[in-house]
Amino acid sequence: MGLWIPILVIGGTGIVCGAVLAAASRFFAVHEDPRLEALAELLPGINCGACGFAGCSEYARAMLEKGIPVNLCKPGGHETVSRVASFLGVEAVAGERQVALVLCKGDDAAASRSTLYNGLADCAAAELAGGGGKDCRFGCLGLGTCARVCPVGAIEITAGRLAVVHPELCIGCRQCVAACPRRLIKMAPESSLIHVLCNSHDRGPLVRKVCRVGCIACTVCVKLVNEKGIRMKNNLAVVDYEVPLDNDEVVSRCPQHTIERRRLKKTVEV
Amino acid sequence: MRAMFRNRGGVHPAYRKWGTAGAPIEALPLPKTLSISLAQHIGVPSKPIAQKGQKVHAGERIAEPGGYVSSAVHAPASGVVKAIEERPAVNGKYALTVVIETDGAMEDHRPDEADWTRLHPKEMVDRVAQAGVIGMGGAGFPTHVKLTPPPGKTIDTLILNGAECEPYLTADHRLMVEDAARVWEGACILRKILGASHLRVAIEDNKPDAIRAMEAAMKGADDGVALVILKTEYPQGAEKQLIYSVLGRQVPSGGLPMDVGALVENVATAVAVREAVVAQRPLLRRVTTVTGPGIRRPRNVLAPVGTPLQDLVDFCGGLTEDTVKIVVGGPMMGVAVATLEAGTAKTTSGLLALTRRVVPQYQSMPCIGCGRCVGACPMGLMPCTLSEHLEAEDYEAAEELNVLDCIECGCCAYECPAARPLVQHMKQGKARVATLRRQRESQAVK
Amino acid sequence: MPDPIQNKRLISPSPHAHSGDSVRRIMLSVLLALAPAAMFACWHFGWNAARLMIVCAASCVLFEYACRAAMRRDPSITDFSAVVTGVLLAMNLPPDLPSWMAIVGAFFAIVIAKQVFGGIGYNLFNPALIGRVVLLISFPMQMTSWSQWHIPHPLAGADAVTSATPLGLLKTSVASGHGIPFLFNAATAWQFFLGFKNGCIGEVSGLALLIGGLYLLWRRAIYWQTPVCYLATVALMAAALQIADPVHQLGPLFHLLTGGVLLGAIFMATDMVTSPVTKTGMAIFGIGCGVLTMVIRLWGGYPEGTSFAILLMNAVVPLINRFTRPRVFGHVRRPKKS
C-alpha cells in the first residue's frame, strides 16, 4: 500500500501535466508559413545583422511577408542570394563581396603615444575619456572593440596595437564599421587592390608630428591617377572604389608609404 | 541655518584646499595667444563669425549661438584672429577653436548702469544671452535657456550654489570671500528674473570665511532669503543633491530641477549675470584654481577665457618633475588632458597637476562584492552590479537598474578597493542605453 | 598596469582621486584581525595550531598559483586572498587533524570552491567553509575528535574529564535522555569566553575574535549589520527556547560562547564576495544565518551548524541583493518593468 501512494502521486502529476501540454499545443499553436523555416535554413545562420534585420530568421520573414529584396545577405554572397532567389522564384543579382578595411597603418612603431591611457580596455570608452593615449586623433586606438564585435574573429589586434582585418575571413557584416568610435573601418569591394590606409584629416605637418605613415595630403597619388580613383577629401587622399584602379606607381611614390597594394579576394581560384 | 536634509551616500575625500583657500585672486598678465573653443557649453557649438586675419577688439563677438541651446562667444582681448580650426579643448576632445594673437589691450571700460531693478526680466535675460553666460560650475548649460522656463513651470526657490564640494578647488570660495557684494547682487538679479519668492545661498561648512562674507553682504535682505550651511561632503554641490539638502525635494528621475520648483546657479555664474545685466559686459574671464602637488606655487588666478593651460602653469611656478597627470576641473569629475596647449573654457574652475603619489594607478580586479559603492552612491544605485551587467554588455539589465540616473560623481570608483573603472562603465552604459531607447522609440513610431 | 616610467602623462577617466584602499589591504587587515585568535590558538593548543595554519596557508597559496598557471590566467596570489582562505580554513579545523587532511581541505577550498568558479569575486560559496564541510563529511571521526579537558560538573567539586566540545557534550546527553551534563554558570561562561574549552583552533577564544572584529569594523572591512544581526538572532532564539524548556536549554550566553558562531559571524559570514552588498541585505543575511545555525544545533544531526548555515545563506545572496536594492533617488516607487 505504502508503495502505491508515491506511484499514484507522481503518475497522476505526469498525466495532468501531459494533458495540459497537449491542450496548450493544440490551442495556442502559432501557424507559421511553412516556407519560413526552409528559407531561414538557406541563410548562413550567423545572425550578423548586416541585412538590417535582427538575425537570419527575421530577414527571412521580411522577405516572405514584406517582399524585402533578396540580395541583402552580405556574408552569404552570390551563392546564398541565388539559392534564396530560386527558392522564392525571383531574379536577383548579389552585389560584389565587400571586405572591411582598417584605414590606419599607425601601429606603435609608426604612430606616437605620448600619454598612457589607464582605464577600460575599450576604444569607445577610451574615446570618451580623453582619447586613449594615441596622439593622432584619427588613428586606430588598438583596444579591440572591433575585434570583440566581429562574429567570425576576422580582426586581429597586432602587437603594435593596431587592428587588422584578415580579408579572407571577413564576411562583410559591417559590425566593426558601426563599432569603431573613430569610424576608421570602411568597406572595400574585394576586387579592389589599391588602398589609402589613413583616416587623418589633419594637415600634413600635424600628421608628420604624430605618425610616420599617415597621409600628409601631398597629392602625389591624386596627380598620378589624374583624380581617377583617388581624390583629395579634406586633407586626405581617399580611394574611390567605384573606379577600378591598379597602379603600382601610386604605391611606390607615396612618400609616407600610406598607400598599399592589398589583395582582398579569398584564395587564388583555380 | 543648517541644512535640514541629509543626502544618502557620499564620500569624504582628502580636500586639500589649504593650498589656495587663503590665497587671494590674482590677475594673470594677458597671454600672447588665446585659444577660444566654440564648444564650451552644452548644446550646439557656436558658429564663428570672425574671419581669419580679422582684427577684433576686447568684448567683440566672435561667434554666435548655433541653435537655441547654444551660446555666444566673445574675444576676451583685442588682437588678430590667427586661425579658426579644430584644436584640442580642455574637455579632452577636439573642437573648432578661434585662436587670437593678442596685442595687449584687455579691458573694455563700460561703466555700470545705474539701476537694474527697473529693467524688465525679459530684457535682463536678453542681456544674459548677449553676454554669452553659461553655467560656470562645470556643466556649462547656457544660462539664458535655464532662465526661460517653459510656460506652466514656476520656480519658487533659487539656490545659489557655493558648495564647491570638489577637493582642491577654491575658485568659488575666494570669489565669495573677495567679491561677496557682486555675488549677492547677481543672485538678486537672478531671483528677480525668475520671480522666485525664495532665495537660498548654500555653502559648505568648511568655508567659514565665505559664510561670514556672504552673511555680511546679505544683511538687510527680506524674509524670503536665507543662508544654508551644508555639511562638508562630496557630492554636496551636485544639483540634485543640493536641492535635496536645502529643500528636501527630490528631482524626479529624468526630470529637471524646475519640476520641483527649484533652480540652481553657481556663484561665479551669478557674478557673470550681474556683469551682463548691469554693465552689458560679456563673459570674458573667470577665476581658476591652479593647484595640486605638481604645481610649485598654487594660486587662484583670474584669467581670460582661452588662456592656454601652459600660461596658467607658468604663472604658478611651473610643474614639478614628478607630475604625471594634468586634470582640468576637480579630481572627482575633472578630465585628464594630454596637452597643455588647450585654452581654458568658461567652465574651467580648476587646473590640477597631480603627482605619482596621489594618482591612483588602476589595475582593476573582479568585483569582490564589498558593497562600498552601494553605500557611497548618492543616487541609490548599485554600481557593482551595474558594472558587471555593463561588462557583459547587458544593456537591458543596466537600464532596469536605472543606469540613466547615474550622475557620474565618481563616489563609487573612489571607494572601490578592486579599482574597477565604474564611472567609465556608467558613462558608456548611459550612452548605449540612451541609444537603445531612441531606437525603441523610433520603432514604436513606425 | 601601464609602466610608470618614461615620464609619460597619464590619461584616465574620472575620478582622479581614490580612497587608497585595495583588495590586498583589506585581505591584510583580515589577517591582522585574525592575529589575536591565532596567537591564542598557538598558546592554547601549542604546536598543532601553528602547524595547521602554516600547512593550510601554504597549500592554499600553492593551489591558487598552480590553478591560475594551469588556466593560463594572471597570477592572483599577490592579493593575499588565498592566505586568508588558508588561515580561515585552519581556524575551522580541530587541532589534532593530520596535515594531509588539511591539504585536502585546502584543495577543495581553493580549486573547487574558488578557482573553478573563476577566482576571487566569482565564487558563490565561502571557500574556507567549503573546505571545512568537505572534511567534515569525508572524515567525520577526525574532524570531531578532541583532546581531553576539564569541565565543571553539576555536582560541586567533581570536575568531569571529557573529549568533546560543550555543544557535542550537550547534544549527546540530551539525545540520550539525560539533562544538562555540566555546570554552566558565570565562571564557566567566563572560561568559555576567554577560550578554555574544546573546539576548532580559531573558534575557542571569544575575546580574541571580538578584538579582531572591532578592528575590522574600524577598518571598514566588515559592516556591523551581518555579525550583530547574526549574533542577536542566535541569542534571541536561544532565550526563547530557554523560556520554553528550561530543563534542556542553556540560554543565549551558552550559544554565543560555544561552537563557531563568533568566528562565523565575525569572519566567515562577513566574507565580502559571498555576502550581500546592501546594508539591509547584510542584516537579512545575518538573521538567516542565525536562524539556520540554531535550527541545526537544536534539531539537526550535527552538534554545530555554523558552517552549514552560512553556506546555505551564501546560496541565496543573489536573491537577497535583488530584493534589497536601495530606492533610487528621484524614483517614487521601484520602477515597474516596462
Which residues from C are below 8 Å from B337, CB to CB?
A: 11
Segment (H or E) for B354: strand B350-355
Of A114, A125, A130, which has the smallest distance from its Cβ to C8's Cβ? A114
For residue A42, the model assigns a pLDDT of 84
Answer whether C5 touches A (CB < 8 Å): no
Could you give the 3-state DSSP secondary structure of residue B228? strand
Could you give the 3-state DSSP secondary structure of residue C319? helix
Segment (H or E) for B99: strand B94-102
Of A115, A125, A128, which has the smallest distance from its Cβ to C10's Cβ? A115
DSSP string, A43-82: S------TTSSSSHHHHHHHHHHH---TT--TTTHHHHHH
Which residues from B are below 8 Å from A133, CB to CB?
A: 338
**β-pairing, B94-102 with B33-37?**
antiparallel
Determine, for residues A114 and C9 on separate chains, whether the beta-carbon distance falls below 8 Å.
yes
Mean pLDDT of the B201-205 span:
94
Instruction: Say if residue B93 is exposed, middle or buried (CB neighbours under 10 Å; 0-12, 13-18, 19+).
Output: middle
* Look-up of cell digits 550612452: B431
Complex prediction ipTM: 0.87
Answer whether C72 touches B (CB < 8 Å): no
Contact B296, B306 (CB under 8 A): no
Residue C131 has pLDDT above 80, yes or no: yes
* Shortest Cα–Cα distance, A113 to chain C (Å): 9
> Chain-wide mean pLDDT for chain C?
88
* Shortest Cα–Cα distance, A147 to chain C (Å): 20
Counting DSSP H helices and E strands in chain B, the numbers are 14, 17
For the segment A135-189, what is each residue's pLDDT rounded down to a tens digit?
Answer: 899 999 999 999 998 988 999 999 999 999 999 888 888 889 989 999 999 999 9
Domains of chain A: 36-88 (1.10.15.40), 98-261 (3.30.70.20)
Of A115, A120, A124, which has the smallest distance from its Cβ to B338's Cβ? A115
Which residue of A118, A203, A207 is the best one to mutate when testing the B interface, meaning the one whose CB has the most B CBs within 10 A?
A118
Residue of A nearest to C4 (CA): A116
Residue B386 has pLDDT above 90, yes or no: yes
Determine, for residues A117 and C11 on separate chains, whether the beta-carbon distance falls below 8 Å.
yes
Chain A (92-121) residues lying within 8 Å, Cβ to Cβ, of chain B: 114-115, 118-120
What is the rounded distance in angstroms from the CA atom of residue B307 to the CA atom of residue B343?
Answer: 5
For the segment C176-218, what is each residue's pLDDT rounded down to a tens digit?
Answer: 777 777 777 888 888 889 888 888 999 989 999 999 999 999 9
b/e map of B95-126 (b: 16 or more CB within 10 Å)? bbbbbbebeeebebeeeeeeebeebeeeebbe
> Chain-wide mean pLDDT for chain B?
91
* Shortest Cα–Cα distance, B381 to chain C (Å): 6
Residue of C nearest to A128 (CA): C13
Which one-letter DSSP state was computed for residue B404? G
Which residue of B91, B414, B422 is the best one to mutate when testing the C interface, meaning the one whose CB has the most C CBs within 10 A?
B414
Segment (H or E) for B201: strand B198-204
Segment (H or E) for B264: strand B262-266
For residue C128, the model assigns a pLDDT of 96
Question: φ, ψ for residue B202 (rounded to 5)?
Answer: -110, 120
Determine, for residues A116 and C1 on separate chains, whether the beta-carbon distance falls below 8 Å.
no
A129-133, B32-36, C224-228: which has the minimum mean pLDDT?
A: A129-133
What is the rounded distance in angstroms from the CA atom of residue A254 to the CA atom of residue A49?
Answer: 37
* Shortest Cα–Cα distance, A25 to chain B (Å): 31
What is the rounded distance in angstroms from the CA atom of residue B339 to the CA atom of residue B92?
Answer: 9
Could you give the 3-state DSSP secondary structure of residue C37? helix
Residue C5 has pLDDT above 60, yes or no: no
For residue C335, the model assigns a pLDDT of 46
What is the rounded distance in angstroms from the CA atom of residue B393 to the CA atom of residue B398?
Answer: 9
* Look-up of cell digits 581556524: C91
Chains that touch C (3 or more CB pairs under 8 A): A, B
- Measured in Å, how far apart are chain B's first and last C-alpha atoms? 54
For residue B332, the model assigns a pLDDT of 94
Determine, for residues B424 and A118 on separate chains, whether the beta-carbon distance falls below 8 Å.
no
What is the rounded distance in angstroms from the CA atom of residue A217 to the CA atom of residue A232?
Answer: 7
For the segment C140-187, what is each residue's pLDDT rounded down to a tens digit?
Answer: 888 888 876 766 666 555 566 677 788 888 888 777 777 777 777 888
DSSP string, A2-39: TTHHHHHHHHHHHHHHHHHHHHHHHHS-----HHHHHH
What is the rounded distance in angstroms from the CA atom of residue B21 to the CA atom of residue B167?
Answer: 11
Of B253, B331, B418, which has the smallest distance from its Cβ to C16's Cβ? B331
Residue C1 has pLDDT above 50, yes or no: no
What is the rounded distance in angstroms from the CA atom of residue C87 to the CA atom of residue B100?
Answer: 67
Q: Which residues contact C56 (CB under 8 A, 6 or more apart)?
A: C86, C87, C89, C90, C93, C102, C105, C106
Residue A43 has pLDDT above 50, yes or no: yes
CA B380 to chain centre: 23
Contacts across the A-B interface (CB distance below 8 Å): 40
